[in-house]
Amino acid sequence: MGQGQITENLQSVRDRVRAAAEAAGRTGDEVKIVAVTKNAAPEEIMVAYNAGQRRFGENRVQDLTTKAAALPSDIEWHFIGHLQSNKVRDAILSSALIHSVDSVKLLDRINAIAEELHTVQYILLQANISGEATKFGATRREIVALAERAVDLKNVFCAGFMTMAPYGATDEELEHIFSSLWSIRDFMRERHARIMPELSMGMSDDFQTAIACGATYVRIGTAIFGNGAT
C-alpha cells in the first residue's frame, strides 16, 4: 500500500478511536492503538513509524523476531497471536506485552523462561467468550484461575485481559463479548482485589464497539495497512 494511504489511514483510525472514546465519555488517551503488522512489510511499518506510531503487534513469533531486529529499537512490540511453548523464549525477547496467554502450561512456561532471562514479562490473559471451537482462549472460569495463579508468579505480570470477537458477529454479540471481558476485570477487582486494568479488544471492523465497552488497547491491522493483497 502507498505511503500516503498508510499515513492517511493511520490518521483516520486515530480520529475514529478518539471520537469513539469521547462518545463513551472517555478520553482518547485511554485507548492505545496497537498497529497490527502481519500483512505489512518493513517499509510500510516505517511509514506508520514516521507518522509517530510506536506500538506494533505481530501474531507470528518468527515475523516478530525478524521485524523487531530490522526496525528501530524504540518500537514497542506486542505479541498477539497463539503462542507455542517452543517459541516462548523468542516471544519474550521481543515483546513488551504478550496478549495471548490462555493456559496454565503457557503461563508457567513464560514465568520459567522470564526467570532464566532475568526479566518480568507483562502479559494479558486471552478469554474465549463466544465459546467458538476454532478460537484460542480460556473460559471465564479458567481465566479467573489463571489470573489468581499469575499473581503468585514472580516473573510474569498480568496487566489484564484480551479477547477476539468471531468474524461477522452482530452488534449485539459484540457488545456481549466485550462487556463480558469488562465484567471479568470487574470481578477480579471486586471479589479478588486484583487490579488488572488493560482490556485488549477490538479490531478494524469492531473497535468502536469495543471502545464503547471499555477497551484500553485496540489491535488494528487492515484499517491501517490494508489486507496485504497488493
Ligand X SMILES: *Cc1c(COP(=O)(O)O)cnc(C)c1O
Please state, as a whole number, how many other Cβ atoms lie within 10 Å of the Cβ of residue 104: 14
* Selected range binding ligand X among 24-32, 46-54, 136-144, 202-210, rule: CB under 6 A: 202-210
Among 136, 204, 226, 228, binds ligand X (CB under 6 A): 204
How many residues touch ligand X under the rule CB under 6 A: the total is 14
Based on the shown chain and the rule CB under 6 A, indicate whether residue 109 belongs to the binding site for ligand X. no
Binding window for ligand X (CB under 6 A); candidates: 48-56, 60-68, 176-184, 218-226: 218-226
* Angle at which helices 140-152 and 171-192 cross, to 10°: 40
Percent helix, strand, coil in the chain, to 5, is 50, 20, 35
Q: Which residue has the cell 513509524?
A: 49
Residue 163 binding ligand X, by CB under 6 A: no
Of 122 and 153, which has the nearer Cβ to ligand X?
122
| Least distance to ligand X, CB of residue 67, Å | 14
| Rounded Cα–Cα distance for residues 115 and 111 (Å) | 6
Shortest distance, position 116 Cβ to ligand X, whole Å: 27
Query: What single DSSP character describes residue 186?
Result: H
Single out the segment in contact with ligand X by CB under 6 A; choices: 64-72, 142-150, 183-191, 217-225. Answer: 217-225
Candidate residues 1, 164, 211, 215; the one interacting with ligand X per rule CB under 6 A: 164
Stated as kind and residue range, the H or E segment containing 32 is strand 32-36
Q: What are phi and psi of 138, to 5 degrees?
A: -100, 155
CB of 64 to ligand X, least distance (A): 12
Q: Where are the alpha helices (DSSP H) in the chain?
A: 3-23, 42-50, 61-70, 88-94, 104-116, 140-152, 171-192, 207-212, 222-225
Q: How far is the CB of 207 from ligand X (least distance, A)?
A: 8
Is position 203 an interface residue for ligand X (rule: CB under 6 A)?
yes
In the complex, the residues that contact ligand X under the rule CB under 6 A are 36, 38, 59, 80-81, 164, 203-205, 219-223
